Every structure is written in C-alpha cells, then in structure tokens.
Amino acid sequence: MPIYEYQCSACGHQMEALQRMSDAPLTDCPACSEATLRKKISAAGFRLKGGGWYETDFKTGGKKKNLAGDAAKPKEGGAKSGAKADKPAAGAS
C-alpha cells in the first residue's frame, strides 16, 4: 500500500496517510477540521541498487548504469594493493 502526502491549504498542516490506490483522497484536515486537504506530489522513498533481477534482466549494453553500485566497489590498483606490495620490503630492511 502506498503512502500519500497531504497538505492543508487553510492551515498548512502536513501529514502522511497509508491508503489503497482505490481509496478516495482525504479531504478533511485533522488539525483545523476544514475540507481543504490536498494530495502532494512526491518521489518514491527507495532506490533499487545492487546485483538483483532489475540489474541483470532489464539493463542492456556494455555500460553499467547503476552508479551507486559502482561507488561501493574498490578500484583495481588502488592503495590496498600498493600497501601489500610495500609491506614485505619494509620488513626486510
């Protein structure tokens, strides 16, 4: 069930309501009891990321389009691999 955001035109009260998509929009403000409650347009509160079905089945081409997933992966040839190579040389001196 989606969560809808509402704002009262009369008093400015904002609220969220868990409703079915088939339910009628709310109209009465719980703060001032006026029939001026309006639905707000808002973005979804989640983002699909990782290597799930949406990543492998629906994305095409050689480029990976999930930029958030790329930031979490370590890059090759970074500081970690260089630190391992320097460690034996420091111990040998």
Task: Kindly report, residue by residue over 73-92, the tens digit of the pLDDT.
Answer: 555 554 444 444 455 555 55
Give tens-digit pLDDT for 15-71.
999 999 899 999 999 999 999 999 998 877 666 666 666 555 665 665 555 555 555
Place of tokens 């008093």: 11
Total structural domains within the chain: 1
Q: Indicate whether 35 belongs to any domain.
A: yes
Range of the domain at 21: 3-39
Q: State the virtual CA torsion across 38, 14, 35, 9 in degrees, nearest 10.
A: -70
Cα 29 from Cα 8, distance rounded (Å): 6
Phi, psi torsion values for 53, nearest 5 degrees: -60, -35
Q: Confirm whether 53 is domain-assigned.
A: no
Determine the pLDDT at residue 1. 79
Can you tell me the distance from the alpha carbon of 52 to that of 89, in angstroms, rounded to the nearest whole number?
42
Does the pLDDT of residue 72 top 80, yes or no?
no
Residue 31 covered by a domain: yes
